[in-house]
Chains A and B, each alone.
Chain A
Amino acid sequence: MTITTFKPDTAAQLADSMQWALSHGEPLEVLGTGTKRRLGRPVQAAYALDLSALSGVVAYEPEELVLTVRTGTPLAEVLPMLAARRQHFAFEPQDLGPLYGLPAGGGTVGGMLAAGLTGPRRIQAGSARDHFLGVEGVSGRGEVYKGGGKVVKNVTGYDMPKLMAGSMGTLTAMTEVTLKVLPAPEDVRTLVLLGKGDAEAVRALTSALQSPHEVSGAAHLPAAVAARSGVVARLGGAATCIRLEGFGPSVAARVAALKDELGADAVLERDDSLALWREIRDVAYFVQPAERLVWKLSVPPSEGARVAAAIREITEADVYFDWGGGLLWVAAEPGDADIRECLDGTGGHATLIRAPDDVRASVPVYHPQPEPLAALAARVKESFDPKRLLNPGRLYAGV
């Protein structure tokens, strides 16, 4: 249990804290506002490194498509600022607060990047790492350093920000980050196909993604999940959802074309579309019951339906599909089944997104890696944090 907190205001103070931890061999739990403390393996540390005081926008230049902020800056401050200039983070960051029993709208920019969580637009716009341009921070060696840059196109030196995305604070306590921001779409519509089985639905999503219509969301909610939706439950039965975004005339033309090609039982207008894709993004369907385990499976899209069937064979689970079938969200009863064995032969991997602390301490949260890769990951960790003081064990035991 964490008992003492360092809360530096500057990178130099942060480096001092790290130096103290080094000299005492004390591990640190790295935190922003703590909204994702239940993500990852539990960290055993008596001291916390709270980065929430490293807050504030350093530079926002909409015409340059670049935003630089200190890592502790709340998303609640940044997202409206971008929206006011009709821009956004195109990777559609998830808000998992409610899934963890917390209010929505929490979290910091640093936490968003460290967790690397990405929404439905992954299929079109890439993930958090694709929009992460520059980083400054303090390594586990207590040294202040920077990597990447503050312009949208840069190949100078190793692409350090990529490594930080999804590293869960295990390599560097980040102090300042630069992100690419993009114009937010002017309009959005969603085509809904009703009553399809999983395999048929994934085939429909595949057709949509093989079309030139620039689909930016491709999800399938089986009947049991669709029934929990505030948007599509009223339509009845399974809902296969295809999102089209962009300028008004373009969206209208693409909706018409795709409707011709695939057929559609309903078209959701702007507000319903926004609400639906927020639910899909934030795993709203699995917030309750809170004791169920929530898994996230990343697989080749064409394997999605088969993996879901395998899961249902071994356990009573609810499953829904995003990323055209390449992302499965699974809510399973605690205990029994080994979800990971359903991935055999797919090359995919599973992350345990929500589970009680004791489960996350014993079941690998992140997918176990083959030995040579695990060894390389451990050496990478060591190159930043040789004493394993930054969020030790949060990603993998021993890393």
Chain B
Amino acid sequence: MKMPTPDAGIISRRREIVERLRAIVPGEGVIVDEDELRAYECDGLTAYRQPPLVVVLPSNTQQVSQVLKACKEMGVKVVPRGAGTSLSGGALPLADGILLGLGKFNRILEVDYDNRCVVAQPGVTNLGISNAVAHKGFYYAPDPSSQIACTIGGNIAENSGGVHCLKYGLTTNNVLGVEMVLMDGTVLRLGGKHLEAGGYDLMGIVTGSEGLLGVVTEVTVRILKKPATARAVLLGFPTNEQAGDCVAAIIAAGIIPGGMEMMDKPAIHAAEDFVHANYPLDVEALLIVELDGPPAEVDYLIGTVEAIARDKGAVYARVSNSEEERLVFWAGRKAAFPAVGRISPDYYCMDGTIPRKKLPLVLQRMRELSEKHGLRVANVFHAGDGNLHPLILYDANNPGELERAEEFGNDILRLCVDVGGVLTGEHGVGVEKRDLMTHQFAEADLKQQQRLKCAFDPDGLLNPGKVFPELHRCAELGRLHISGGKLPFPDIPRF
């Protein structure tokens, strides 16, 4: 992975840059000590590491604005960071850039039940928002697996999902407003407590922009009343194909479950060995279907789902009869990553989305790729929305194995695109999938996205080296190529 070549001129001006930052963020808010900088050298994608030039931890919007403005004036790059849980390297630092940590923005500013929203600073954790409103029976719907640690600001940057997003949406569908700071220090408000923001939907673009457009300093999110009840059903199938058919049939019956997860045999075994959820071990595919809502609805739909599953060849079916049992069903799935971590020294988690009907084909091709690369793979799968999480097992201590794992991963992601899907369903592009972007997007597509970035950050100082495989100057991107002169297929005047 090649990052932009560090600018030696910037690095040599480190002392001046630090002084300027210290004038804005006093005391311990500017970190220069090498050992302390190391704590920030990577995020959840630990294969890539780079200590930043300086870490700055501002504590209010005005400081963020001044830091960004100063960096723009000095031509210094900025990498924003929440809790650093990105699995795609979105917060990987730059040797010639400052790391802007939002950890001090950790307060919930307002809970507004009448408007069913929470206003929070970006460093509040995802779960922190749900916890703040739990006593009134409310919650914040998107629930990425890292929700104990990941921040709501990071969720906005990555447009995070979770197991419930088929029914309740991704981050973008649950954000009402943000306050953000542009690279030139401008502070903007997009949206608010009302449901529709006027003008261009800039919040829609900022959400999922991976820290390339601005730094979010305040967030307003929608909260929902917890469903009255939730029950899960475990379904085992002799083939992946039958499990996939069952998922399609459930949706065709008009049912959108709160969660619908699938695991393949290696993942089932790893999870069962780890948490003893009493999963069946003699099936090829396991579905966990969770139905939530009023008890009358859940009881009715559980029956329907069971009938569909029997019709599609399920050889195992068990319905949770208590909250404890439901949580046990989930325990195996939620522990799937660490469970796989137990059976392999290292694993690499992928995140493509495919049209669900392509699942049997993709799993077959994945088995072939597994042989080709000589590495095992276990699959967990957000079955409802086609979001695959293949876990590639490898041992970083064996020379060349990490590279093979990455090559295997790249083959999987290219396969996802080739069958009509996309490179990433919820983890983001970051540095990890950056160089694969040209497999999904044509040059014109990527250039138009980069022109949009120019509208926010014309000098390209915010989080460069992420998302886009090739950097272009905005002046070059803006140049027009006009070719037409003749009137094309003139139509008769009609109005």
Contact = CB atoms under 8 A, between A and B. Distances in A.
A61 B355 contact: yes
B386 A186 contact: no
B445 A165 contact: no
B199 A3 contact: no
B39 interface: no
B25 interface: no
A247 B73 CA distance: 59
Contacts, number: 318
A296 to B, nearest CB: 9
Contact of B495 (A48, A146, A149, A348): A48
A151 B353 contact: yes
Interface string A32-54: 00000000000000001010000
A298 B295 CA distance: 34
Nearest to A203: B114
A212 B294 contact: yes
Contacts of B193: 300-301, 347
A111 B201 CA distance: 16
Contacts of A64: 355-357, 386
B248 to A, nearest CB: 4
B195 A373 contact: no
B204 A23 contact: no
A23 B194 contact: no
A106 interface: no
A373 B199 contact: yes
Interface residues of A, number: 109
A196 interface: no
A399 to B, nearest CB: 9
A380 interface: yes
A222 to B, nearest CB: 20
A393 to B, nearest CB: 14
A159 interface: yes
Given A61-B355, A122-B195, A210-B113, A151 B188 contact: no
Interface string A137-151: 001011111110111
B35 interface: no
Interface string A53-70: 000000001111110000
B421 A13 contact: no
Query: At the interface, is chain A mostly helix, strand, loop or mixed?
Result: mixed
A200 to B, nearest CB: 14
B194 A152 contact: no
Nearest to B182: A376
Interface stretch (B12-20, B74-82, B205-213): B205-213
Interface stretch (B95-103, B282-290, B365-373, B478-486): B478-486
A154 B227 contact: no
Interface stretch (A4-12, A228-236, A275-283): A4-12
Interface string B472-495: 000000101111111111111111
B85 to A, nearest CB: 15
B386 A143 contact: no
A4 B491 contact: yes
A159 B159 contact: yes
Contacts of B251: 62-63, 65, 183
Contacts of A145: 442, 444-445, 447-448
Contacts of A142: 481-484
Contacts of B115: 300-302, 326
B327 interface: no
Interface string B425-452: 1111100010001001110111111011
A396 interface: yes
User: Main SS of chain B's interface residues?
Assistant: loop
A379 B201 contact: no
Given A13-B489, A158-B452, A376-B188, A165 B201 contact: yes
Given A149-B421, A153-B353, A4 B493 contact: yes
A153 B428 CA distance: 12
A253 B295 contact: yes
Contacts of A167: 200-201
A4 B493 CA distance: 5
Interface stretch (B167-175, B267-275, B307-315): B167-175
Nearest to B441: A157
B423 interface: yes
A246 B298 CA distance: 12
B362 interface: no
Interface stretch (B146-154, B252-260, B338-346, B400-408): B252-260
Contact of A383 (B182, B301, B451, B494): B451
B382 interface: yes
A107 to B, nearest CB: 18
A1 B226 CA distance: 54
Contacts of B353: 149, 151-154
Given A212-B227, A247-B300, A155 B491 contact: no
Contacts of B249: 63
Contacts of A370: 189
Contact of B201 (A129, A206, A346, A396): A129
Given A64-B356, A163-B205, A299-B194, A156 B166 contact: no
B263 interface: no
B456 interface: yes
A162 B201 contact: yes
B202 interface: yes
Contacts of A359: none
A127 B486 CA distance: 41
A165 B188 CA distance: 21
B158 interface: yes
A214 B113 CA distance: 16
Interface in A324-363: 326-327, 346-349, 351
B495 A384 contact: no
A127 B188 contact: no
A62 B204 contact: no
Given A151-B386, A156-B424, A158-B208, A376 B455 contact: yes
B424 A253 contact: no
A249 interface: yes
Given A146-B442, A250-B294, A254-B294, A7 B198 contact: no
B200 A166 contact: yes
A386 interface: yes
B420 to A, nearest CB: 6
B310 to A, nearest CB: 19
A122 B197 CA distance: 13
Contacts of B425: 151, 153-155
Nearest to B195: A326
A154 B252 contact: no
B409 interface: no
A194 interface: no
Given A146-B442, A212-B227, 11 more contacts: A16-B488, A143-B447, A151-B422, A153-B166, A156-B437, A157-B441, A160-B449, A210-B113, A347-B194, A349-B197, A383-B478
Interface of B: 112-116, 137, 158-159, 161, 165-166, 169-170, 172-173, 182, 186-190, 192-205, 207-209, 225-228, 248-249, 251-252, 254-256, 293-297, 300-301, 353-357, 382, 385-387, 420-429, 433, 437, 440-442, 444-449, 451-456, 467, 478, 480-495
13 contacts: A4-B493, A5-B492, A129-B201, A144-B444, A155-B158, A156-B440, A186-B254, A249-B300, A300-B115, A349-B196, A379-B455, A380-B452, A382-B455
